[in-house]
Amino acid sequence: MWLPIPADEIEGLPEGLNYRLWDGGPDYPADPADCAFYVVPYMKGTEIALRPLAAMTRVRVVQTLTAGIDHVEPGLGLLRPGVELCNARGVHEASTAELALALVLASLRGIPDFVRGQDAGEWRAGFRPALADKSVLIVGYGSIGAAIEDRLAPFECARVARVARSARTSERGEVHALADLPALLPEADVVVISTPLTPATTGLVDAEFLARMKDGALLVNIARGAVVDTKALLAELDGGRLTAALDVTDPEPLPPGHPLWRAPGVLITPHVGGPTSAFMPRAKRLLAGQLTRFAAGEPLGNVVLTTG
């Protein structure tokens, strides 16, 4: 069992399994061919995540510590059939939803401008929009999208609309299909993107999508940078029609001198939705639960796909 966290720091791991620590360093802790359960190092990038896969000829489970699996998918063809790929649903909802709400509030209330004013010793008072009475559209209503809505509940929003890959009914109400976006976008004051990165969502937020958003609306992206067409977004930001708060960008990391850094009306955070103090306790609980089920021969949770 290859873990990126020392086994003695994870409470509840089953006995009788052979745990090896590997967090992406140059040397493997053992022969990859003997690994049965591979936990992908967290926040180390695609190259490190995929490096041992071709040699893992007996692996049965690949477990990510991220909600998205796009950094692992390119290497799935290296694996034998029948390998289960599991994501980290349940680990990142709290911290990512917190950041989404923080980005919405900071952008609407003008917090970046207040910080710049403080740095300059200037008292920049003025009238700012509130989240209260705003209409919010959540595009990508999985567990993170639902957690975002949970945190919006006390803020007296006029309406929260939900969009997912397919229509359904949630505990909070109707979830619309992606096909309903053209009708929903013109009504939203705040659009929060929380979709996984898939072929269907790559470039989803393109020029047409942005053009349908109402004047003065705020776009918040806590999903993946490639969900948004950067060039199209820059055109709207430079024109002053929309504002944006981005925890993820395309390209990422955003290089020095990129136009997004100085675009008007944009707040950028460096992909920090997941890595908070909330991460480690939840990650450890996930691994303890998954490995306990694995050792007992029980079905695993969070299975996204099985190689074939």
Q: How far apart are CA 87 and CA 215, in angstroms?
A: 37
Cis peptide leading into residue 253 (ω within 30°): yes
Per-residue pLDDT, 303:
97
Per-residue pLDDT, 120:
98
279-295: pLDDT as tens digits:
999 999 999 999 999 99
46-101: pLDDT as tens digits:
999 999 999 999 999 999 999 889 999 999 999 999 999 999 999 999 999 999 99
**Which one of 3.30.750.24, 3.10.450.50, 2.40.30.30, 3.40.50.720 gives the CATH number of domain 93-268?**
3.40.50.720
Structure tokens belonging to residue 29: 């802790």
Per-residue pLDDT, 300:
98
Residue 267 near residue 246, CB atoms below 8 Å:
yes
Per-residue pLDDT, 153:
96
Residues labelled catalytic: 271
Residue in the structure block whose two tokens are 């996930």:
286
Kind and range of the H or E element at 163? strand 159-164
Give this prediction's pTM.
0.91
Per-residue pLDDT, 2:
98
Per-residue pLDDT, 119:
98
Residues of the chain within CATH 3.40.50.720 domain(s) are 2-91+276-306, 93-268
Per-residue pLDDT, 1:
98
Positions in the chain short of pLDDT 70:
none
Mean pLDDT, the chain, rounded, equals 97
Could you tell me which CATH number the domain at 2-91+276-306 has?
3.40.50.720
